[in-house]
């Protein structure tokens, strides 16, 4: 899984990766900075197969289609036949990503530490010209995953981010090709110890 970039934002990291056509890539979805909680498909399509083992000859317990322009939580649902050691969140699960005749570019979101819960909101410039992002008790981060945006009149290009601290609001101006993911970070005990605010 070739990475184009990795950005660490404090409470999480995100990376852009590309899978060539006719690729099968298996990885253990586990570990701080390596556990993929969510994925946005920038281009192309593929599938993600989840198993409790690395053995891809066994049938997958859960199959998730991944299509361009969609945001996915990479979790196994209650009815799935595969669980990691931590339950349905897919930590500790083996995932095989497959493409067919087209490749796939994804932006993957990884909580730090892996136990932290993140919430995700997807906004596209085709749906809204501008939005206000207000952070209440938890920090929010606006990640530009396609094109560029203006955050309080400052340009943020693809792959860059803007933090919104609790009690603050940021006005986001999108253009027709813009796509952003707003990530809300759960505060946990380690934040107070590290004095993250």
Domain containing 160: what range? 118-187
Over the Cα atoms of the chain, what is R_g? 17
What element of type H or E holds 189? helix 189-194
Within its chain, how far is the Cα of 10 from the centroid? 15
Dump pLDDT digits (tens) for 111-148: 999 999 999 999 999 998 999 999 998 999 999 999 99
Work out the percent of the chain whose per-residue pLDDT is above 70: 94
Give domain status of residue 148, yes or no. Answer: yes
105 and 178 share one domain = no
Give domain status of residue 192, yes or no. Answer: no
Give domain status of residue 194, yes or no. Answer: no
Whether cis (ω within 30° of 0) applies to the bond prior to 196 is: no
Phi, psi of 66 (to 5 degrees): -120, 120
33 and 70 share one domain = yes
Domain-ending residue, one of 78, 111, 144:
111
pTM for the whole thing? 0.91
Dump pLDDT digits (tens) for 88-113: 788 999 999 999 999 999 999 999 99
- The full length of the chain comes to 197
């Amino acid at each position: 899984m070739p990475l184009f970039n990795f950005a660490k934002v404090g409470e999480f990291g995100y990376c852009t990766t590309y899978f060539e056509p006719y690729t099968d890539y298996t990885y253990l979805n586990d570990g701080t900075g390596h556990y993929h909680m969510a994925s946005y498909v920038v281009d192309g399509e593929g599938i993600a197969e989840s198993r409790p083992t690395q053995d891809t000859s066994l049938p997958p317990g859960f199959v998730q289609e991944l299509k361009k322009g969609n945001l996915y939580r990479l979790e196994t649902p209650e009815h799935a036949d595969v669980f990691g050691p931590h339950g349905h969140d897919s930590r500790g699960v083996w995932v095989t990503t497959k493409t067919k005749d087209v490749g796939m570019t994804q932006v993957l979101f990884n909580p730090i530490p892996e136990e932290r819960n993140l919430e995700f909101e997807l906004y596209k410039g085709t749906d809204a010209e501008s939005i206000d992002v207000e952070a209440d008790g938890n920090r929010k981060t606006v990640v530009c995953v396609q094109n560029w945006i203006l955050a309080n009149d400052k340009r943020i290009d693809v792959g860059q981010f803007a933090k919104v601290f609790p009690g603050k609001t940021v006005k986001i101006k999108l253009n027709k090709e813009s796509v952003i993911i707003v990530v809300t970070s759960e505060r946990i005990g380690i934040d107070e110890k590290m004095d993250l605010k």
